[in-house]
Each structure stands twice: as C-alpha cells, then as structure tokens.
Structure 1
C-alpha cells in the first residue's frame, strides 16, 4: 500500500503554480533543496517523471498534468478538514438581511464562499422588505443588510444601480389591458415608483394583488393576471420582462445599498461585506455598474 503525502503534494502544486522550485520554496517558506527532495520523493513513490527539467524552465510532463488536478483537490480537502475541526481563530454568528427579490443570484454564492473561508462562523439569513430590514438594522438585530432604494441613503454604500423592469407572464398579454392590473407587496419599494410612472403617463391601473407573499405575487403574474416590477436580472424563471414597445412607461433605476455595522471592529463582518461587494458587482453587467 502506497500513500501520498500532503506535504509533497503541496510542494508539487506550488512548483506548478509558480513555475519553478525557487519561487515555490519562497511561497512555502522552505529551502530549495527541501522542495526538490520532496518532488523526487513523490516521483519515486509513483515511479513516474512528473517534471520536465530539460528546458530553461520547469514544465509538467503528461503524468504531472494528470496528477495536478488530483493534488489540488487533495490539498484543498486537507485544508478544509483542518480548518473545520481545529481552527478556533474565527467563531461567531453574523446576521445578514436581504430583500426577497435580490436573494438570487448572488447571495447563495456569497454564503458558500464565506462558509469555505470561515467554516466555524454561522450566518443567519433574514429575508424581508427593505423597509423592515432597515428597521431591524436600526434596532441592532442585523450586522449587515442590503436594501433596494431609489436613492443612496445616509449610512449606506451604493453597490450597484439597476434598471427597474415591467414583468409579466412569458408570452402574456395582460399588460395590454386597461386598467392595467398590478401585483405588488404591501411594503414593496418599487410599488410607489411604478404607480407614479403610470400616473404620469395617464395609464389607468388597479391593484389586483396586494400581498406579503412573493409566491402569491409571482403566481398571479405568471398566470397572466397582473404585472409587476423587479430589478433587471432578478426576475424568477417563470416571469419575463415585458416587450411593450413603449406602451408602458419607463421605470426609474433603483440602487442596491449596503449597510454595515462596526466593520472595523469586527473583522468577520468586514470580510463578509467585502465578499458581498465583490460578488454582487460580478453579477452585474459592466455597463450597468454604478459603483465597484
């Protein structure tokens, strides 16, 4: 029975990543001779030549290329196990508040990446309307919140500014009817913006659904019984932007604002805020970004 050693695999990955023994040794805080010895030990164990040393720079052989993918996974799994079971440096709980309609697509990947970096920290996700989230944040019940608001607000940081779109059922025709039937949450920040735009355009409307349940609103709209409005890119798969050709008024853009409590004093909150900024920005087209 032959067993691969994580230390030798880590050195092998470092040499592949840094293009040579010297840089890999510096990264690993080892001597060049120690790294070279580990590589020779690994080649001896497998009875394979993993590195092509014939040129001016070190390159991987075909066997080395094949091993590299496995080595990366084994080193990462080793580090994950060690971190999860023994790392006491970062423990605690973070409460994050996010409006219903912008949980997807960014928040799941933020939670996943943060858990990989800080496996002993619990993140509690609170989903509600922006107005309620700001109240909870004011009471000290959340460490961070995201909001959808027409303007930047005091104490917040605007991450992106996105268009607000009319949404309806795929292939639906409800948007042609007058009065226009609307479906919105009671506390939805987009509702007054949509109604004001319709009033300015002189379009009759009626509130067909007023609910605290996003599912109720989405079901009504997907049945082609009403229309609603959401931020660009946040619509669920069973709804689609309405190609109304100017029959409906253009809606104003809305901002996604970030509120962070005591980031300087709490490195975990600061790290989570940084991850939110990076991930939300990466999910937005460069042409639509307002910040970052």
Structure 2
C-alpha cells in the first residue's frame, strides 16, 4: 500500500475550489510551480490524469471528481485531529447573542465550524430580542451579538441589508382585510417601525394580536388571523410573503455585529466567520433555505 500525502491533497482541493493553479497557489501561500509539482506527483502516484488542462482554465477529469470527495474528507479529518491535539491556546467559552429570527441559516453553520476548528472553545448561543441583547452586551454578559436595526449603533458593524416584508398564511386572505389585522410581539424591534409607517401612510389597520410570545404570533399568522413584519428570507416555513405593492413598504433593516473591544483572542475567529458567512448571503433571496 502507498500513502497519500495530505499536503498534496490539500493543494489538489485548493485547485479544484479555485478553478486554477495560480489562484490556489495564492490561497496556499505557495509558488505556482510548487503547486504544479505537487499535482504532477499526485497524478504520477495514482497513474491517473486528475486535471483537464486543455481549456483556458483548469477542470477536473472524471477521476479527479471522484478523488475530490475523498480528498476533502482526508484534509478535514487531518485538520480536526491536529486541532484537537495541539491547539491548547484556543480554550474558553464564548457567549454569542442572536435574535431568534436570524438564527437560520448562518448560525448552525458557524457553530459547526467553530466546533470543528476550535474544539476546546465552548460556543454558547443566546437567542433573544435585539434590545435585550444590546443591554446584555453593554453589561458585558455576552461577548458577541448580532442585531437587526435600521442602522448600527456605536461600535456596531453592518453586515447585511435585508428588506423588512409583510408575511401571512399560505394562500391566506388576512392581508386583504380592512382594517388590516396585524400581529405584533411586544418586544419586537420591528413593531415601532411598522406602526410609525402605517400611521404616516394613514393606512387602516388594527392590532389583532399583541403578545409576549413569538409562538403565539406564529400560530396566529399561520392560522390566517393576521399578518406580521419579518425579514425577507427569514420567515418560518408556514409563512407566505404578501404580494408586493398591496401593503405599505417597510424599508430595509441591517443585520449588525457587535464585538467587545477588549475581547479574548478566541473571539476573533468567530467574528471573522460571521463576517464571511453574512457577506456570502448578499444578493441572495433564499436566505432561509440554505
């Protein structure tokens, strides 16, 4: 039996992801010739052509496609073993506060990556409303928070602009009624935004459901008793977007990031992951589906 080299497999994965040797070399901090030599060594060892170099770019041959899934698993397992046994300086606990309506799709991916890359770090998730999270952050009770606001406050960083939209029940008719029946949670930050807009537009509406419980709001809306404002793409599966133009536009909200200035080193990777993940969602309309 012959042993595959992890460094060579890492270069192969990088070339497949980058679509070319030059870009992959930059990601790996190697020269282009070094990466090319590693790929040639891998092909010679296996006796297979892994890359199709006939076009302008680089694409995988059928053998390369087959190898790629194994190479990813081997590189990931190598990195996980190394992290668990050697990264003793990355230890501790991080408390991350996130509004419940933007937990998906990003936060599960973040928690999985943190567990994989920093297994000695315990990431504790706290889900609450923006106002409460900002209070906890100000008192130092949480290390990092995400918020939904019209604009970030002092020390905040805007990550993503998301439309605030009206949602109702699938195939529902509550959005057609006048006065418009609206369901609001008492602590929801979108409540004053929507109320101010309806008053300014002199739109005929009434408070149909007023509750401390988000579950009550969800049940009421899904039962077609009312509509409610939700960030586009972040609504529960049993909600449906109200058709455009029939109700007043609610404008945009920002998903913002706050991280303590005097934070421990272990927070830095989390902050960078959050930036990258939300940056990848820009321009996407299927946020909650991923």
Shorter-chain TM range is 0.7 to 0.9
Q: How far apart, in 2, do the equivalents of 1:251 and 1:270 lie? A: 34
Counterparts of 1:230-249 in structure 2, within 5 Å, are 230-243=230-243, 245-246=245-246, 248-249=247-248
Q: How far apart, in 1, do the equivalents of 2:119 and 2:176 lie? A: 51
Q: In the alignment, which of 258, 282, 285 is matched to residue 283 of structure 2?
A: 285
**Does the alignment pair 1:192 with 2:203?**
no
SS of the equivalent of 1:163 reads strand
Q: How far apart, in 2, do the equivalents of 1:140 and 1:196 lie? A: 32
Deviation at 1:162, TM superposition (A): 2.0
SS of the equivalent of 2:166 reads strand
Q: In the alignment, which of 7, 10, 24 is matched to residue 7 of structure 2?
A: 10
* Conserved 8 A contact 1:13-1:68: no
Residue 92 of structure 2 corresponds to which residue in structure 1? 92
Residue 107 of structure 2 corresponds to which residue in structure 1? 107
Query: In the superposition, relative to structure 1, how do residues 5 and 249 fare at CA in structure 2: closer, same or farther (>3 Å)?
Result: same
Query: In the superposition, relative to structure 1, how do residues 140 and 60 fare at CA in structure 2: closer, same or farther (>3 Å)?
Result: closer
Is there any run of 5+ residues in structure 1 with no aligned partner, and where? 288-292
Q: TM-score, normalised by structure 2?
A: 0.79
Residue 130 of structure 1 corresponds to which residue in structure 2? 130
Query: In the superposition, relative to structure 1, how do residues 176 and 60 fare at CA in structure 2: closer, same or farther (>3 Å)?
Result: closer
Q: How far apart, in 1, do the equivalents of 2:202 and 2:212 lie? A: 28
Aligned residues: 270
Residue 169 of structure 1 corresponds to which residue in structure 2? 169
Deviation at 1:228, TM superposition (A): 0.3
* C-alpha RMSD over aligned residues: 3.6
Q: How far apart, in 2, do the equivalents of 1:10 and 1:221 lie? A: 54
Is there any run of 5+ residues in structure 2 with no aligned partner, and where? 54-58, 286-290
Residue 290 of structure 1 corresponds to which residue in structure 2? none
Residue 204 of structure 1 corresponds to which residue in structure 2? 204
Q: How far apart, in 2, do the equivalents of 1:273 and 1:99 lie? A: 16
Query: In the superposition, relative to structure 1, how do residues 200 and 11 fare at CA in structure 2: closer, same or farther (>3 Å)?
Result: closer
Q: How far apart, in 1, do the equivalents of 2:283 and 2:163 lie? A: 12
Deviation at 1:5, TM superposition (A): 3.1
Larger Rg computed on CA atoms:
1
* Conserved 8 A contact 1:49-1:63: no
Q: How far apart, in 2, do the equivalents of 1:135 and 1:157 lie? A: 17
Q: How far apart, in 2, do the equivalents of 1:62 and 1:175 lie? A: 52
